[in-house]
Structure 1
Amino acid sequence: MPRAFELAAARPWLMLPDALDSLMAIADRQGDPEALEARLGRPLDNARAVTLRDGVAVIPVAGPIMRYANLFTRISGATSTQELATDLQAALDDPKVRAIVLNVDSPGGEATGINELADMIHAARGRKPIKAYVGGTGASAAYWIASAADEVVVDDTALLGSIGVVVEVAIRKEADGIKRYTITSSNAPNKRPDLDTEQGRAEIAKSIDALAEVFVAKVARNLAVKPEDVPAMGDFGGLKVGADAVAAGLAHRLGSLESLIAELASPAANPRKSSMTIVRTTAELQAAIAAGTDPKTVQIAAAEPLDLDAIKAEAGASAAKAERERITGIHALAAKGFEKEIAAAIEEGRSVEATALSLFKAAQDRGIGLAGIKADATGTTGAQPPKSTGPDTADAWSRTMKKIGG
């Protein structure tokens, strides 16, 4: 049996029967992978390419789907889940990409790797809009991938479904008198079940059913439906066309690729384009960056206009209060014979302490001591000078004496 065919036949597939037959035919055509490559003569360019259109990354999911990029992907124009995962992560990380479209046209493919990719797509919901568009076929593994997107949009003629798993085993008669024997350990009879028997085929079916249960459960999660409803939605492994797929719940709506891209590229579909984070202080800016905010969406708040009238009014009120406190404090220093000095201090805007100092010096010139001035200020009735609430008038005489060293 050709080695390439053996490699293909040994794997479970989530794929349409006709497409699987074609794949097996390719694997069987020349015998070995090396022979196939020699027949090609040169490596084929990988047709996969992610395009960015108005901020929308379009990722093709075309042809048979394999786990890794290999000879099969090159020959059949297939897609690998390895490449799809890389493309998806790049689109998610690129700040120029605002939305992602998975452009699906595939009959399905190898079961291995599909679940991981679909989980990756499902987990990325909410980071950026992720839509799946099916313009041709979205069957089996391809539908599993598409269902993980935020929304599935399909063309009127698109084919969706084929929810199930298949393993195709070909048994060939030995040629040229060569007979092959397979011997397994006694503890593992099911390692090589005899497919000529019902029991052997039943063992293979157990694995296939287990894989199908995972397939159905994940599609149910992606579509937010009950697992028991999924087989009927997909016509028990069959295919639904366009509007019927929407009616069955396999897709969300009809549409075209171009209209979907235009919709996602519009500002209304991408609030990130117009949504800005306003910061007013350096602390707010640092907090926004630390929280993961895109620096391109950070906007420094415009300075608030000054209310000059309010500022003037506040300043005027403060000045009036200070003036009242100053005059009250000076009056507290008043004494007989110093009326002119008191009036001059008020008129010239001297502080309470400056007035006390000038009164002290004037008293010295007249041979009057500090005690005499204070006695004259209190008067014969013993009444104390009026007290001021301002800090400049509290015990003006004491502060003045400290300044002049008295």
Structure 2
Amino acid sequence: MPRAFELAAAQPWLMLPDSLDNLLAIAERMGDPMALETQLGRRLENSRSVTLRDGVAVVPVVGPIFRYANLFTEISGATSTQVLATDIREALDNPAVKAIVLNIDSPGGVASGINELADMIHAGRSQKRIVAYIGGSGASGAYWIASAANEIVIDETGIAGSVGVVVEAVVDGESASGRKRYQIVSRNAPNKRPDISTEEGRAKVAETIDALEDVFVSKVARNLGVAAEHVPGMGDHGGLRVGAAAVEAGLAHRIGSLEGLISELAKPAASNPRNRTMKVSTTAELQAALAAGTDPQAIEITQASQPDVDAIKAEARGEGAKTERDRINGIQALAQKGFEAEVSAAIDSGLTVEAAGLSLYRAAQDRGITLQAIKGDATKAKASTPPSIIGTAPKISTADIYAARKGAKQ
């Protein structure tokens, strides 16, 4: 059995089943020159080189994903996380690059290296805007990478999901050469080579892939800003979702095209609404912002708006001004020749109309004006100012005040 196949079969994969089968089939024929020849040309079609368009760096993430560059990446059009990390870091550090697009068309790949690359992308999105575009397949490990970007844009025919881990095991039997293969492990390490032909052995392998899946799910949840328990359902429990269904399930943020996305990111920041900070204070506003494709990182949650304090103060000032005008007018209505000083003092000291009337009444008494003389002209005062009771003072009405005025004139 070829060494390449043994190495491939021993790895845990974050990859679509059919693609994994194809990859293992290629690995099994790796010693056959014809097998390699049939794969030539894919690298030209799926170039891994970064292209810069109007300040937007486009980084292809295509084919099966490996940790390191190898014969698969050199001949079969695959990708390595090692090369991707180098390309993305260069784009982040290059001052000519203002945004990055991860152009994804990959069924996933080997689990090793995916987490580190995704964490680097997640950290880098605070440095520059990074958008993942799924034009073909963004499955399993490739989706993990996509989830780390600021935003996921998917084509109407794009495929996203397959959130899970798989290990393909091969049970050795009688080989074509007539030799049988044996593996002997030390007595304290029986789980180093669990017997997968038994229930116990398969359970032991399942523990490992379940632990890997827990990391996968938790990181996708962090990247998307959702609870971890929601991720399996969003991804149809290891299944796939297409285009609009992926957006509806929360696996992608919106439908779009690669060219449209590049044009959008190439616009100056001031003219690109997705680069502006948007403040929201209600769930409805948040949903509307996300539906419009606003970058979640550019959304600022604020407290629900309180009543307009300024408006309330203005209204209060208006009411206060009206009350003050009424008070002054009421006091001035009591004025008569010879009482100007008392009227002015009442206005300046803030006396109410009723208190001012009482003060003027007492002033009239001090000048020898009797109550009997006041009562002759009471009807005019009734129309201008209502009577009031102030503390324990004698009851007095504005009619009495006008009567007092009349008496003073006499």
Give the Cα separation in 1 of the matches to 2:183 and 2:34: 26
Assess if the C-alpha contact under 8 Å between 2:42 and 2:77 holds in 1.
no
Unaligned runs of 5+ in 2: 276-410
1:189 maps to a residue whose letter is P
Assess if the C-alpha contact under 8 Å between 1:67 and 1:112 holds in 2.
yes
Assess if the C-alpha contact under 8 Å between 2:39 and 2:76 holds in 1.
no
Tell whether 2:9 aligns with 1:9: yes
The secondary structure found in structure 2 opposite 1:134 is strand
1:41 is displaced (CA, Å) by 10
Q: Could you say which structure has the larger radius of gyration? A: 1
Give the Cα separation in 2 of the matches to 1:215 and 1:126: 21
1:181 is displaced (CA, Å) by 1.8
Measured against aligned partners, the alpha-carbon deviations of 1:8-66 in whole angstroms (never above 9, x if no partner) come to 0010000001100000000001448x997799899977831110000000000000011
The corresponding residue for 1:117 is: 117
* Count of aligned positions: 272
The corresponding residue for 2:69 is: 69
Output the aligned Cα RMSD.
Answer: 2.5
* 1:269 to 1:248, Cα distance in 2 relative to 1, 3 A: farther
The corresponding residue for 1:248 is: 249
The corresponding residue for 1:196 is: 197
Give the Cα separation in 2 of the matches to 1:152 and 1:40: 30
Tell whether 2:111 aligns with 1:108: no
1:189 is displaced (CA, Å) by 0.5
The secondary structure found in structure 2 opposite 1:179 is coil
* 1:270 to 1:79, Cα distance in 2 relative to 1, 3 A: farther
Question: TM-score by structure 1 length?
Answer: 0.63
Measured against aligned partners, the alpha-carbon deviations of 1:339-382 in whole angstroms (never above 9, x if no partner) come to xxxxxxxxxxxxxxxxxxxxxxxxxxxxxxxxxxxxxxxxxxxx
The corresponding residue for 1:132 is: 132
* 1:269 to 1:222, Cα distance in 2 relative to 1, 3 A: farther
Measured against aligned partners, the alpha-carbon deviations of 1:259-300 in whole angstroms (never above 9, x if no partner) come to 1111100013688xx9xxxxxxxxxxxxxxxxxxxxxxxxxx
2:190 maps to a residue whose letter is P
Alignment of structure 1 residues 5-404 onto 2, 5 Å: 5-31=5-31, 47-175=47-175, 176-268=177-269
* 1:123 to 1:189, Cα distance in 2 relative to 1, 3 A: same
Give the Cα separation in 2 of the matches to 1:138 and 1:18: 14
1:18 maps to a residue whose letter is D
Assess if the C-alpha contact under 8 Å between 2:156 and 2:242 holds in 1.
yes
Measured against aligned partners, the alpha-carbon deviations of 1:311-351 in whole angstroms (never above 9, x if no partner) come to xxxxxxxxxxxxxxxxxxxxxxxxxxxxxxxxxxxxxxxxx
Unaligned runs of 5+ in 1: 275-406
Give the Cα separation in 2 of the matches to 1:254 and 1:222: 19
The secondary structure found in structure 2 opposite 1:199 is helix
Give the Cα separation in 2 of the matches to 1:269 and 1:136: 31
Task: Write out the 4+ residue segments of structure 1 that deviate beyond 6 Å after TM superposition.
Answer: 34-46
Measured against aligned partners, the alpha-carbon deviations of 1:74-126 in whole angstroms (never above 9, x if no partner) come to 23200100000000010011110010000000000010000000000000122
Give the Cα separation in 2 of the matches to 1:158 and 1:255: 10
The secondary structure found in structure 1 opposite 2:197 is coil
The secondary structure found in structure 2 opposite 1:69 is coil
* 1:94 to 1:11, Cα distance in 2 relative to 1, 3 A: same
The corresponding residue for 2:327 is: none
* 1:60 to 1:40, Cα distance in 2 relative to 1, 3 A: closer
